[in-house]
């Protein structure tokens, strides 16, 4: 392997920018490649780094929830994403949600102003020489995807991800819709207080309205997918288009994104038969996305069907839903828990002059991790390990008792024949030795164990001791 004094990162999304930041903060130069805006993807709309293309929510922020635990671990590890998210936070109950534009601009500002990061706006069509982190994301360009397939010797797997529609606040009919959060638990407020109206906007449905909506949804026309997207029509269960979910049964939505549990109409005191929730999408509070309403319906069909939702009859849609291809590698076959490409065949090279597999790390959604925070977290670990490889230090494998360690362990040890993307959840953690009898306390017990074990790794491996630059870069 030809020795260089820099590390290459491919992809300017959440994982790529987090990896680049971790590398540069440790005093190593970074070449960060991002093809946008020179070449756009079907889902992105700007050239900003770390653009969020689906929801603006980063998930629950309480440490006794799996996504919240992952966030705490990232904060302990000095995450750029967490620092930027705190600068762009919008109200979302117990979740961490951001103004997507402010968030992307903050990440872009910090990355582009870092003295050790060179942002190169070009498409990468072959694997770079030297140590590199490939974080090209679920919309990896065809040329690079072909190169990765040639490198790994296996075909890509595809699944679908869908974007939810966004409406303007002023166009919502509040004579029908109302504000509330489920049970008020997310807010930590007294449900009887005047300030406890909640961060979510709720559109209630009667039984008749719900079944009429489902019938229209099932019969609506979907967008035609392009030829290259028809190779493997598979859907990730955590991000099903609503029309796909509705076809599973007339009550599927009522037990899914439209479940009414914990919601009562303050004007009647009764629980609706079904409810559609909207969550704030920007800091100004002028835009709201329809929670869980990813869809691939044609735009005119969305305009027709979604206006059947009570309170949205006159809604102004600033973005309709759409669906796009996501690409991920078969991580159990290809990766170690360090996120390094396995060296099962170190003699295999991309060309006579290129570097062997040992110099390559993968991170982000392309490894089969779901969720914004999970993607960024894998970039964080890949960045740390890329530096350690450059310096000849042992690579870090995080304990599976931590949420990040559990995610990396899962994607690299799952059944390769039935591998599906995974998001942060307590089910992938090892069982507690002495679990609390009250199941409601188990999340806190997992979090306590994870914090203890991660802190031990930080102290023994010196992971934070090698950070040479201030946090602002």
Q: Could you tell me the domains of the chain?
A: 6-156+329-461 (3.50.50.60), 162-325 (2.40.30)
Whether pTM > 0.85 for this model: the answer is no
What does the alpha-carbon distance between residue 250 and residue 210 come to, in Å, rounded to a whole number?
9
Section 388-394 average pLDDT: 95
What does the alpha-carbon distance between residue 308 and residue 374 come to, in Å, rounded to a whole number?
35
**More reliable by pLDDT, 320 or 364:** 364
**More reliable by pLDDT, 26 or 226:** 26
Q: Taking the alpha carbons of 150, 418, 432, 79 in that order, is the dihedral positive or negative? A: positive
Write down the pLDDT at residue 184: 65
What does the alpha-carbon distance between residue 124 and residue 120 come to, in Å, rounded to a whole number?
10
Q: Which residues contact 251 (CB under 8 A, 6 or more apart)?
A: none
Do the Cβ atoms of 56 and 85 come closer than 8 Å?
no
Q: Is the pLDDT of residue 233 over 70?
A: no
Chain centroid to Cα 127, Å, comes to 24
Q: Which long-range contacts (CB under 8 A, 24 or more apart) does 432-437 make?
A: none
Section 266-277 average pLDDT: 95
Write down the pLDDT at residue 203: 98
- Please tell me the least confidently modeled range out of 39-43, 189-193, 203-207, 244-248: 189-193
What does the alpha-carbon distance between residue 270 and residue 273 come to, in Å, rounded to a whole number?
9
For residue 399 the two structure tokens come to: 């304990």
Write down the pLDDT at residue 318: 86
Write down the pLDDT at residue 376: 98
Q: Is the pLDDT of residue 348 over 60?
A: no
Do the Cβ atoms of 100 and 281 come closer than 8 Å?
yes
Pairing of β 322-328 and β 157-163: antiparallel
Q: What is the pLDDT of residues 237-270, one digit of tens each?
A: 667 889 999 999 999 999 999 999 999 999 999 9
What does the alpha-carbon distance between residue 133 and residue 116 come to, in Å, rounded to a whole number?
16
Section 115-140 average pLDDT: 95
Write down the pLDDT at residue 160: 64
Write down the pLDDT at residue 3: 56
Give residue 469's pLDDT band: very low, low, confident or very high (50, 70, 90).
Answer: confident
Give residue 13's pLDDT band: very low, low, confident or very high (50, 70, 90).
Answer: very high
Q: Is the pLDDT of residue 118 over 80?
A: yes
Q: What angle do CA 215, 218, 222 make, to 5 degrees?
A: 145
Give, as one character, the DSSP assignment of residue 350. S
Write down the pLDDT at residue 385: 97
Mean pLDDT rounded to a whole number for the chain: 88
Do the Cβ atoms of 404 and 74 come closer than 8 Å?
yes
**More reliable by pLDDT, 69 or 142:** 69
How far lies 34's CA from each of 9, 31, 38, 51, in Å? Answer: 9, 10, 9, 12
**Percent of the chain with pLDDT strictly greater than 90:** 69
Chain centroid to Cα 73, Å, comes to 16
Write down the pLDDT at residue 323: 76
**Percent of the chain with pLDDT strictly greater than 70:** 87
Do the Cβ atoms of 299 and 179 come closer than 8 Å?
no
E strand or H helix at 317, and its extent? strand 317-319
Write down the pLDDT at residue 198: 84
Q: Is the pLDDT of residue 416 over 90?
A: no
Q: Is the pLDDT of residue 396 over 50?
A: yes
Write down the pLDDT at residue 208: 98
Q: Is the pLDDT of residue 15 over 90?
A: yes
E strand or H helix at 319, and its extent? strand 317-319
Q: Is the pLDDT of residue 196 over 60?
A: no
Residue 132 phi/psi, 5-degree rounding, is -145, 155
Do the Cβ atoms of 327 and 159 come closer than 8 Å?
no
Cross-strand partners of 158: 327
Write down the pLDDT at residue 89: 97
DSSP-derived 3-state class of residue 236 = coil
Give residue 346's pLDDT band: very low, low, confident or very high (50, 70, 90).
Answer: very low
Pairing of β 29-33 and β 117-120: parallel
Nearest to 212 by CA among 305, 99, 76: 305
Section 133-142 average pLDDT: 92
Question: Within 13 A of 381's CA, how many CA atoms are on the CB side?
Answer: 32
How many other CB atoms sit within 10 Å of the CB of residue 98? 27
- Please tell me the least confidently modeled range out of 65-69, 282-286, 339-343: 282-286
Do the Cβ atoms of 137 and 63 come closer than 8 Å?
no
What is the widest separation between alpha-carbon atoms in the chain? 73
Roughly how many angstroms between the first and final C-alpha of the chain, as a whole number? 30
């Amino acid at each position: 392997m030809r020795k260089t004094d820099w590390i290459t990162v491919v992809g300017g999304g959440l994982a790529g920018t987090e990896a680049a930041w971790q590398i540069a903060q440790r005093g190593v130069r970074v070449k960060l490649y991002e093809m946008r805006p020179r070449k756009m993807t079907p889902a992105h709309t700007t050239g900003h780094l770390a653009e969020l293309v689906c929801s603006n929510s980063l998930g629950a922020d309480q440490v006794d929830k799996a996504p919240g635990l992952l966030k705490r671990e990232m904060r302990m590890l000095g995450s750029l994403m967490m620092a930027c998210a705190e600068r762009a936070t919008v109200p979302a109950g117990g979740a961490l949600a951001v103004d997507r534009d402010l968030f992307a601009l903050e990440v872009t500002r910090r990355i582009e102003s870092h003295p050790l990061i060179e942002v190169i706006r070009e498409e990468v069509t072959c694997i770079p020489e030297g140590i590199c982190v490939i974080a090209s994301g679920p919309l990896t360009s065809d040329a690079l995807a072909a190169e990765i397939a040639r490198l790994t010797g296996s075909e890509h797997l595809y699944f679908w991800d869908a974007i939810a529609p966004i409406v303007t606040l002023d166009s919502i009919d509040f004579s029908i819709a109302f504000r509330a959060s489920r049970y008020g638990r997310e807010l930590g407020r007294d449900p009887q207080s005047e300030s406890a109206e909640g961060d979510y906007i709720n559109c209630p449905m009667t039984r008749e309205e719900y079944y009429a909506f489902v019938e229209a949804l099932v019969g609506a026309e979907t967008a035609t997918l392009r030829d290259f997207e028809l190779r493997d029509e598979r859907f990730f269960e955590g991000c099903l288009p609503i029309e796909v979910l509705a076809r599973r049964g007339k009550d599927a939505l009522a037990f899914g994104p439209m479940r009414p549990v914990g919601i009562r109409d303050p004007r009647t005191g009764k629980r609706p038969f079904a409810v559609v929730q909207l969550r704030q999408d920007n800091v100004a509070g002028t835009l709201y996305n329809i929670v869980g309403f990813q869809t691939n319906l044609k735009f005119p069909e969305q305009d027709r069907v979604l206006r059947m939702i009570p309170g949205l009859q006159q809604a102004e849609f600033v973005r309709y839903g759409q669906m796009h291809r996501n690409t991920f590698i078969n991580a159990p076959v290809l990766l170690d828990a360090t996120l390094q490409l396995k060296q099962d065949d170190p003699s295999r090279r991309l060309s006579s002059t290129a570097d062997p597999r040992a110099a390559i790390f993968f991170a982000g959604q392309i490894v089969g991790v779901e969720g914004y925070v999970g993607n960024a977290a894998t970039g964080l670990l890949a960045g740390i390990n890329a530096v350690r490889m450059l310096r000849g230090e042992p690579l870090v494998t995080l304990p599976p008792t931590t949420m990040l360690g559990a995610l990396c362990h899962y994607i690299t040890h799952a059944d390769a024949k039935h591998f599906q993307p995974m998001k942060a959840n307590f089910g992938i953690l090892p069982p507690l030795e002495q679990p609390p009898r009250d199941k409601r306390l188990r999340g806190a017990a997992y979090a306590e164990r994870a914090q203890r074990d991660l802190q031990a790794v930080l102290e023994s491996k010196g992971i934070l001791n090698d950070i040479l630059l201030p946090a602002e870069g």
